[in-house]
Every structure is written in structure tokens, then in C-alpha cells.
A and B are shown apart, each in its own frame.
Chain A
Amino acid sequence: EIVLTQSPGTLSLSPGERATLSCRASQSVSSGYLAWYQQKPGQAPRLLIYAASSRAADIPDRFSGSESGADFTLTISRLEPEDFAVYYCQQYDSSPWTFGQGTKVEIK
């Protein structure tokens, strides 16, 4: 089973700042099989990024995904008030499909 480790656990930032979230896999994950989700309290997860860098439908372009070796990154270029939430990465390269433990982006 592939273990995904997200860092940091919590990111304290102000609106307008840039957020950089990391996701590292315990085994090789092809870039075609890495997704990012946003989850707000009491809501279901929402797909933001798939295939490491493709934005899902209706996702603003301030959200972007990238890959560097074994590390995957979600970047929010300028935080809007509605972006404060928990973010999960997921690999779907190898079953069982697994999620990272999440990064909480909170208002500083």
C-alpha cells in the first residue's frame, strides 16, 4: 500500500498570501495518478486537481498542481477567504487507492 505523507500538518496564513502544500509518496506514483481535494467542515471533499496538474471543472486558476520527483505540490497563489479548509492528496496509481492525512490551511 502506498503511503502519502502531507506537510505541513497546519498552515497558518493570511488572505492574499501564497500557500504551498506538499505530498510525498512512499513508492513511485506516476503523475497521471495524483489528485488533490479540498474539504470544508461538514462538507464532502471536492476535486481540485487531477493527474497532478490538471484543474477540475470550475476550479479557479489560483489553484495549481505540480510534481518534482517523488514530491507533489499544491499551490494556491493568493488565498481567498473561501480557501481556508483541509486539503488532501490521493494516489490512484495502485490499489488500494490512498489519501494523505491532510493539511489544514487556517487563517492567521
Chain B
Amino acid sequence: GDSVTQMEGPVTLSEEAFLTINCTYTATGYPSLFWYVQYPGEGLQLLLKATKADDKGSNKGFEATYRKETTSFHLEKGSVQVSDSAVYFCALMKTSYDKVIFGPGTSLSVIP
């Protein structure tokens, strides 16, 4: 079945470090891909998305490129801040009436 795999956390970085969170997916066809962020004690928020191959989603300094050939959608940020500490979820959706399938989440802690 369709699934999303993310690198295991927790990930701990110093402020201003470079961030990469790996995400790969298994799905037939051409799913839309998403990154959601969950700050402590809150619900999920959409961070960015890409709907077709080679699309790059970006928001708040975060970027991810839809790579069909490697079935990947890795999240990157050039310089993380303490306020980026959260759990990050990679997700896919195949069609509008399909469910969103989430990865297991990757916890990020940024220390000053």
C-alpha cells in the first residue's frame, strides 16, 4: 500500500545549522506531497507542498523538491532557529477524495 517514510528523530541542531529531514514515499501514480509542522501543544500546520514532479515547495525559509525518480521530498532549511523546534510530518495524497497519508514525524530540537 501507499506509505511515507521519514528519517528517525529526534534531531538536535545548533542555531543557524543546516537542516535536512529525509522523506521518501511509496505510491502509484503522481501523488501530491506535503510537509506539515506541529509545534508543541498545537495542531498541524501546512508548511509547504508540491503537486507534480520537479516542483519546489517553499515557505518560511524551508524548501522541498518533488523528485519522482527517487520518490523523495526532503525538507531543507539553510539556517534553523530555536523557534523551528517542532515535529515535522511528510505526507502524500493521491487524489482529492483520498486520505492524506502521514509519515511517522521527525522531532527537531534547535538549541541556542
Are these two chains actual partners, yes or no? no
| A-to-B contact residues, CB < 8 Å | none
| B-to-A contact residues, CB < 8 Å | none
